[in-house]
Amino acid sequence: MSLTKKILIALVLGVIVGIGLSFAPENVFSFLDTYLLNPVGKIFLNLIMMIVVPIVFVSIVLGTAGLGEPAKLGRIGVQTITFYLVTTAIALVIGLAVAFILQPGKEGMFDVNTANFEPNAAPPIMETIINIIPSNPIEAMTGGDMLQIIAFAIFVGIALAILGDKTAGITKLFDQANEVLIFIVNLVMKAAPYGAFALIASAVGDSGISALGSMGMYMIAVILALFIHALVTYSVAIRGLGKASPIKFYKGFFPAMSVAFSTSSSNATLPISMKAAQENLGVKKSISSFVQPLGATINMDGTGIMQAVAAVFIANVYDVHLGVSAILMIILTATLASIGTAGVPGVGLIMLAMVLKQVGLPVEGIALIIGVDRLLDMLRTSVNITGDAACAYIISENEKRREEQGKTDPAI
């Protein structure tokens, strides 16, 4: 049986067992969760997290060095960042439109007096930008600070590209390190069906179906907007900008989407997203290694959608009218927030506090959506990484055509 099929079965079984467990007596669930589901899920998560920092560093160095001329790097960098910002803004517009049509939170069954939420301080956006350059790259690696690791790796990659033959040995070393890491990814992927099953059964069993009741409309709005964005926006982009087949894209990228669904972490899924893009979609290695790690860190369309719907939901619950300027503020701050959102579970909710504050909505409202956030995090993370892969796929297809036409970048 193919790995994709196995993971798919694991996802379905995980949801079914999770729903079953949410009806079982509390001690049955907690016993199974403590001694089986949680350990299996966590071991799988650790296995993939173990390779994230080395793979981001090594692959961005190789990707940048492989792009060769700084002009090409600049061109691809600009295309990537533009794609990320524009698709995130589109995601927010879709989220807002769906939320305004479905009006979640208008059902009036929410007790705002008991809602209590102490927001963690979200990092101010200027600080995030200043901190992109690490004052200590080793500290960035031990702390897993992705933006800083990426920045340092780009410098090393540019140096290797310019120094060429002089540093061919180091480039080769990175190449071989990459082989080792890919080997480990392939090994870890064999455990994916079991890990995915355990993570999903645990998350669904823990959230409990009853928690979903009053939040139904909110969840439907988020899920609907996620589907519209994932299916329509990316398909149109892949067809229109990349002149490629969306069906091939979704088929080839599915294994990564399912791992994102079970881990709720763009970072943790990164090694698998890159493998799926390179091997199943034929994305050029140098492009995938540059575009996808960057996207896993700064591009979060699914998270943006959740934030847009959540803002409308909270405005409805607290009976606050959202005018045009508030709506524009949501689009602007949530697009920026997506740059600062780390690709780990639940961070989207922390950044939501910043968006709500900027728009002037009550941050305590977050308490209402926390209960169902774990489940929505699974879906939005799948959308987050799909956006990164779509961008890598489009740019790679266009680069291949450029090469066929014999176009080159000016050397400096």
Give the whole-angstrom CA distance, residue 329 versus residue 326. 5
Position 380 contacts ligand ASP (CB under 6 A)? yes
Position 399 contacts ligand ASP (CB under 6 A)? no
- Nearer residue to ligand ASP within complex by CB, 286 or 338: 338
Return the residue of 80, 87, 266, 288 that touches ligand ASP, per CB under 6 A.
266
Query: Going by C-beta distance under 8 Å and a sequence separation of 6 or more, which residues neighbour residue 26?
Result: none
Contact track, ligand ASP, 131-160, x by CB under 6 A? ------------------------------
- Nearer residue to ligand ASP within complex by CB, 188 or 378: 378
86 contacts 312 by C-beta, under 8 angstroms:
no
Size of the site for ligand ASP (CB under 6 A): 16
Which residue reads 């922390």 in tokens? 350
Stretch that binds ligand ASP, among 154-162, 209-217, 282-290, 379-387 (CB under 6 A): 379-387
- Nearer residue to ligand ASP within complex by CB, 52 or 347: 347
Give the whole-angstrom CA distance, residue 143 versus residue 127. 17
Position 345 contacts ligand ASP (CB under 6 A)? yes
Backbone angles phi, psi at 367, to 5 degrees: -55, -30
Query: Going by C-beta distance under 8 Å and a sequence separation of 6 or more, which residues neighbour residue 218?
Result: 104, 105, 309, 310, 313, 369, 372
The minimum distance between CB 350 and ligand ASP, in angstroms, equals: 8
Position 300 contacts ligand ASP (CB under 6 A)? yes
Give the whole-angstrom CA distance, residue 91 versus residue 196. 27
User: Which residue number is nearest to ligand ASP in terms of Cβ?
Assistant: 348
Return the residue of 171, 178, 202, 264 that touches ligand ASP, per CB under 6 A.
264
102 contacts 220 by C-beta, under 8 angstroms:
yes
Position 343 contacts ligand ASP (CB under 6 A)? yes
Which 3 state secondary structure label does DSSP give 89?
Answer: helix
The three-point CA angle 231-44-53 to 5° equals 80
Position 346 contacts ligand ASP (CB under 6 A)? yes
Binding region for ligand ASP (CB under 6 A): 264-266, 300, 303, 341, 343-348, 377, 380-381, 384
